[in-house]
Amino acid sequence: VKLVIGIVRSEKANDVLEALYRAEVRGLSMSRVQGHGGELDRVETYRGTTVKVELSEKVRFEIAVSDPFVQPTIDALCDAARTGEVGDGKIFVVPLERAVRIRTGETDVGAVTPVGE
């Protein structure tokens, strides 16, 4: 069981959701984050105040999957989130010590496998 963390452009979030759905990856959570990954800064001006905005809006997906689903999840994230420009984001895969489904008490693979499969 692995935790796949994908940080992508916020305007690509819908495409990623669609790709994950097509890859039959069902359980996920997403949150808005701000980050900086080497892309050029954005310059904004408000009256006399000019600022460089170093942090840009990103969306962070957290998806816990059983091992056979790791690669399809990564593929879905890459394909859907890539624009080719700096700032497309990162994917991190980390091992999971334990996963528990609160409703049933199932653990690990059982906990991350969607109901009905």
Sequence-distant (6+) residues with CB within 8 A of 95 are 1, 2, 3
Task: Please report, in angstroms and rounded to a whole number, the separation of the first and last CA atoms in the chain.
Answer: 16
Q: Cβ distance 53 to 40 under 8 Å?
A: no
User: Residue 22 Cβ, how far from another protein at the closest point, in Å?
Assistant: 14
**33 vs 96, which CB is nearer to another protein?**
33
DSSP letter (8 states) at residue 38: S
What is the C-alpha to C-alpha distance for residues 85 and 45, in angstroms, rounded to an integer? 24
**Closer Cβ to another protein, 39 or 62, answer by number:** 39
Q: Is 40 among the residues that bind another protein (CB under 8 A)? A: yes
* Closest CB to another protein among residues 81, 112: 81
Instruction: Candidates 52, 68, 97, 98: give the one binding another protein (CB under 8 A).
Output: 52
Which residue of 21, 33, 42, 107 would you call a contact of another protein, by CB under 8 A? 42
Quickly list DSSP for 104-116.
Answer: T--BHHHHHSPTT
Counting contacts by CB under 8 A, is residue 96 touching another protein?
no
Among 53, 96, 100, 109, binds another protein (CB under 8 A): 53
